[in-house]
Amino acid sequence: MRKKHPMIEEEPFNSNRKRMSVWVKDDEGKKLIVMKGASELIIESCKDLLDLNSGEKLPIDQALKAKVLDEITRFAEKSLRTIAICYKHSNSYEKSKRDDNGVLDDEKSGFTLIGIAGISDVIRPEVPNAIA
């Protein structure tokens, strides 16, 4: 996949941005932004949700947004950290247009939400002693 869709640009994750994005070329040669990050923030950048069963894009209205946020809460109740994954086509990449957290204007809207993943962070062996 990486040979077929080489990365053009990358905005790395950091604790202020709480997201990372890469710009790649899709099968038709168009620029595609793929972004992942903190679910509760990423959902704010999404205008629709990809139905993985039908391939349809469903507009994210208040009811659908509430359902997604409920799922994020369910993951958190199981001690899982959530990561949202989304994409959009865009030819722009303006590094100078950022907010105070370093989030690019290009990363703030127009995305299609692919899904939310719940991940378990394994406690590293040195953590219990550091806390003690």
User: Closest Cα partner for 24 from 42, 9, 46?
Assistant: 9
| pLDDT less than 50: residues of the chain | none
Alpha-carbon span 116 to 114, nearest angstrom: 7
**pLDDT for res 16:** 92
pLDDT of 95 reads: 84
Domain regions of the chain by residue span: 7-131
pLDDT at 30: 86
Instruction: State how far Cα 41 lies from the chain centre.
Output: 8
pLDDT of res. 53: 93
Average pLDDT value for the chain = 91
- According to CATH, the superfamily of the domain at 7-131 is Calcium-transporting ATPase, cytoplasmic domain N (3.40.1110.10)
Q: What is the DSSP string of 83-109?
A: EEEEEEE-----TT-B-TT--BGGGSS
Tell me, what's the pLDDT at 90?
A: 87
State residue 27's pLDDT score: 85
